[in-house]
Amino acid sequence: MKAFPIANLMKLVLVITWLLFIPMTVSAQTDHAHTPDPGEDCTKLSPELQAIVSEMDGPGSRIETSPRPESTPALEPGIHKLEIALRPLSEVGLVGKERISRQTLGAEDTMANKTTPSENVDYLFGGFVLLTVPRDGLYRISTDSSLWIEVIEEGKPIERVKITPRLHCGRIHKSLGFPLKRERSYWLEMSGSKRSNVTVLITEEPEG
């Protein structure tokens, strides 16, 4: 029997080793592959917006909502987290667009949370908080929950501002902008929440 050349044997060993190494490398790359986290975009935010994101993880002040716009201590904007206790939506006398949606479409918070007409309003929550601001400007209302937010002035919802910078990261689920004026009283109307407690930050947007 003819002897197998040493050189050929070494080549064979190298080929087998290389073939075994390929799946190990692919497996290692798969195991360590990093799926981008949507929250990673937070690092690209301005310092003011990053401060809002960070504050959502800190301690907060507990506030209870009113079932309708009535006399209650007013809140002022600032970098402080509010832990807001909502009421069953069946107890809340809504004023804003969510109320119109329910009347015309027969659905609970259809515009906000895509709930079905058969969903029981007792399993949704809402309420009012009085709001004043120290100066005219654009104010951001951020929350950690899916709920419908309106700012009511003299019984009517004011229009939101569409030009506020994007903010949807960390614990923040929604962030909306509203133009507000000093020496006026506003009602923050919250509705359609599937949670009885939500976190809210009300902050003034920097000029420019």
pLDDT for the residue 39: 44
Distance in Å from the first CA to the final CA of the chain:
88
Domain positions in the chain: 1-33, 38-204
**Look-up: residue for tokens 């923050």?**
188
Q: How is residue 80 written in tokens? A: 């402080």
Where in the chain does DSSP place strands (E)? 60-64, 78-85, 87-88, 125-131, 137-143, 148-153, 156-157, 174-180, 186-193, 197-204
Phi, psi of 130, rounded to the nearest 5 degrees: -75, 140
Q: What is the pLDDT along the chain (208 residues), one digit of tens a residue?
A: 555 566 565 666 555 554 454 444 333 322 222 233 444 467 788 888 888 889 998 889 999 999 999 877 888 898 889 999 999 999 999 987 655 444 433 333 333 344 344 356 668 999 999 999 999 999 999 999 999 999 999 999 999 987 777 777 888 888 899 999 998 999 999 999 999 999 999 999 887 6
Q: How is residue 79 written in tokens? A: 């970098």
